[in-house]
Structure 1
Amino acid sequence: MFRDPHSHPAVARLEAAFGTIRDEFRALHDREFVPWPERYLYGEGWTVFGLYFEHRPIEHGCGFCPQTAAVLAEIGPIRAAGFSRLAPNTHIQPHCGRPKQELRCHLGIVIPDGDLGLRVGPEVRNWREGECLLFDDTVEHEAWNRTSSDRIVLLVDIPRAD
């Protein structure tokens, strides 16, 4: 299920840093994006540039995005974070995340116009540049991008505030 993003204190900090985060993403180009590990969910077209994994900063990734890394360090313990790229005509199949004590946050970085979205349970929403979506990824969810451009979000697993 989706949560009210502004009910979590981390969201305000991420949205306030949007311009800086977007600028660091733009400087990456295609550098070091790797396929999302669970390939059975999507086939091709979902890649990530990692910043955090299992509560630890990824030095290489954070070195290219030091200001983004500083923002992430400010908002508390982060299980995972990175830039998530969904290529044109990519569909991530319905799935559930593993049980954990975090919520998944998507900060819209580059959001094309057209048919793209995120379904969590029965609800469907779309991303907006500079705004966060917050959801419980243990609930069945799927995402799609049926446009001709990449969709980029900063994906952050943040501690539950409830």
Structure 2
Amino acid sequence: MSLTDFYNAYLDSQSKKPPTPPAPVARGKRPAPFSLRLSDDEREQLTREAKGAPLGRFIKAKVLGSPLPLCMRQTGLTVHDRESLGKVLAMLGASRIPNNLNQLAFLANTGSLPMTPETEAELKEAVREVRSMRALLMKALGMKTGAKR
């Protein structure tokens, strides 16, 4: 058998095979995105109305008539402002200030820290200020502050 005959026989055998079925669609696969063309003015108007919220999520909420999620409520902040405030809140959480205040409170409760009325007042004021900073940052980010202590 020549190389040409072998190749032709191979092609014939391939054409007689039944077509392979298409691959099944994976579960949970998202549908194709929907595109929307906007003029520059339309996009600028939507961006203003979104007030820093992701534009796609804002348009989806507006079209479907659903309320904006809590994190997207209109706070008047730009995305950059929200990112900056989020970093400040994260830094406050990562700082040792709350832990140090807790250690001071423990020492005071065990009698290891000489507690004068002035020291106690200063510690309580420091705790109030930290809580106030946290509450203000979370309010600025449009987040719920949770239960008051």
The answer to whether TM tops 0.5 is: no
TM-score, length basis structure 2: 0.22
Which structure shows the bigger proportion of residues in strand conformation? 1
Which structure shows the bigger proportion of residues in helix conformation? 2
| Larger-gyration structure (1/2) | 2
